[in-house]
Amino acid sequence: MDNNTDDLIISNAPCLIQIPTRDAVLGEGMQIRRALPSRQKRTIGAWCFLDHVGPATLKQPEDFYVGPHPHIGLQTFTWMIQGQTSHIDSLGYHKTIRPGEINLMTAGHGISHVEKSADDFTPDVHIAQLWIALPDSHRDMPAKFQHYDQLPIVQQNNCTITVLAGEFAGHTSAVEVYTPLIGLDIYAESDTTLTLPLNTAFEHGFLVLQGHIDYNGEALDTGALLYIGKDRNSFELQLKAGTRLLLIGGEPFKEDIILWWNFVARTTEEVQQAAKDWLAGDRFGVIEGHNHRRLNMPTLPEHLKASR
Ligand code: MN
């Protein structure tokens, strides 16, 4: 659908499109929803990947286990809503992430990691996991890992708004990103109407994590990402009590990326080299105690075998 109606403040004919999410499998069998990339939309700002995990109740710790796998050219950004998981990486970090916290792993030139249920197992999990494409200026930087346990929280219209990335209402997240971005978690304490100011230089996407949202007289499907183009300076939402919403946005990412498996690159040669290094056990380090459970890399598709 494409809605341009008078009750929205529109400065420049932006688009408003619901993009369906799809079901996917994470690690060793956990069912999740993938909102980005999709056929219709590859990136929103530099956000290039969005998985919504849960809310789900695990029977046993093994139900959440993503074995050693490599990354290049991106940041993995994990927002923990409920539950706790452990991150273990080839730099030697072993960190439990708890509700209200973010793990940020900047892969740069290369790193590998494991994501699993925490040693102190809690069955309920609810996580948003995103990737951020690194710009040319930073995509080959040495890998690093950062953990954030304090994020700015803004109360507005009976909503608790956590500033995950970028700036909102004068509050700036400390999460270190390399392109202009925003990320908000919005939780409605009661039925409410919220008018969010938007940066007109940004494109945005809304994903319902839990509950129900109406905008412009329409329901936002829980199986869809609502994409909003640039040049809109605010957006009004009706939220039911207990609803949780993720907002991501940023300046449209201008560099052409190749996203394959866990790699973000610019050329097919870079993808081929990363694949070769992973198979050879080079570049990405090892994670003691988990090496026998490395994820199998899929076969390179034909279009990535040729040089570009
Ligand atoms: Mn990963």
What distance in angstroms lies between residue 172's CA and the mean position of ligand 1's atoms? 26
Per the CB < 8 A criterion, the answer to whether 40 and 17 are in contact is yes
Note the pLDDT tens digit of each residue in 92-121: 999 999 999 999 999 999 999 999 999 999
CA of 143 to the centre of ligand 1 (A): 13
Q: How far is the CA of 239 from the centre of ligand 1 (A)?
A: 32
Q: Give 83 Cα–ligand 1 centroid separation in angstroms.
A: 18
Q: How far is the CA of 128 from the centre of ligand 1 (A)?
A: 13
Average pLDDT over residues 117-128: 94
Mean pLDDT of all residues in 249-265: 96
Q: How far is the CA of 215 from the centre of ligand 1 (A)?
A: 33
- The yes-or-no verdict on residue 9 having pLDDT over 70 is no
Query: How many angstroms does the Cα of residue 75 sit away from the middle of ligand 1?
Result: 9
Mean pLDDT for 127-155 is 98
Half-sphere exposure of 119 (CA within 13 A, CB side): 4
CA of 68 to the centre of ligand 1 (A): 8
Tell me what pLDDT residue 308 has: 58
Measured in Å, how far apart are the chain's first and last C-alpha atoms? 36
Distance 76 CA to ligand 1 centre (A): 7
Read off the pLDDT of each residue in 114-137 and give the average, rounded to a whole number: 96
Q: Which of 12-21, 84-93, 284-293 has the lowest mean pLDDT?
A: 12-21
Q: Quick one: average pLDDT of 242-261?
A: 96
**What digits encode the pLDDT tens for the residues 21-80?**
999 988 777 889 999 998 888 999 999 999 999 999 999 999 999 999 999 999 999 999
Q: How far away, in angstroms, is 115 Cα from ligand 1 center? A: 7
What is the distance in A from the centroid of ligand 1 to the CA of 70? 7
Nearest residue to 10 (alpha-carbon basis) of 170, 228, 169, 180: 228
The tens digit of pLDDT for each residue in 201-242 reads 999 999 999 999 999 899 998 888 999 999 999 999 999 999
Could you give the 3-state DSSP secondary structure of residue 151? coil
Which pair of tokens denotes residue 114? 């494991």
Are 143 and 105 within 8 A, CB to CB?
yes
- Using a pLDDT cut of 90, give the percent of the chain over it: 85
pLDDT of residue 259: 97
Residue 217 class from Cβ within 10 Å (0-12 exposed, 13-18 middle, 19+ buried)?
exposed
- Ligand 1 centroid from CA 262, angstroms: 7
CA 227 to ligand 1 centroid distance, Å: 25
Ligand 1 midpoint to CA 27 (Å): 10
Name residue, tokens 């105690």.
Answer: 289
pLDDT value at position 110?
98
Instruction: Tell me: pLDDT of 90 over 70.
Output: yes
Does residue 181 surpass a pLDDT of 70? yes
Beta strands in 47-101 (DSSP E): 47-57, 65-71, 74-82, 85-89, 94-97
- Closest of 51, 41, 81 to residue 210, by C-alpha: 81
Confidence of residue 14 (pLDDT cuts 50, 70, 90): low
pLDDT, residue 51, reads 96
Whether the predicted pLDDT of 186 surpasses 70: yes
Tell me, in angstroms, the distance from the centre of ligand 1 to residue 113's CA. 6
Instruction: Indicate if the pLDDT at residue 175 is higher than 70.
Output: yes
Q: What is the pLDDT of residue 16?
A: 85
The overall average pLDDT reported for the chain is 92
Residue 4 has pLDDT above 60, yes or no: no
Ligand 1 centre from 77 Cα, in Å?
Answer: 9
pLDDT > 90? residue 87: yes
CA of 95 relative to ligand 1 center, distance in Å: 14
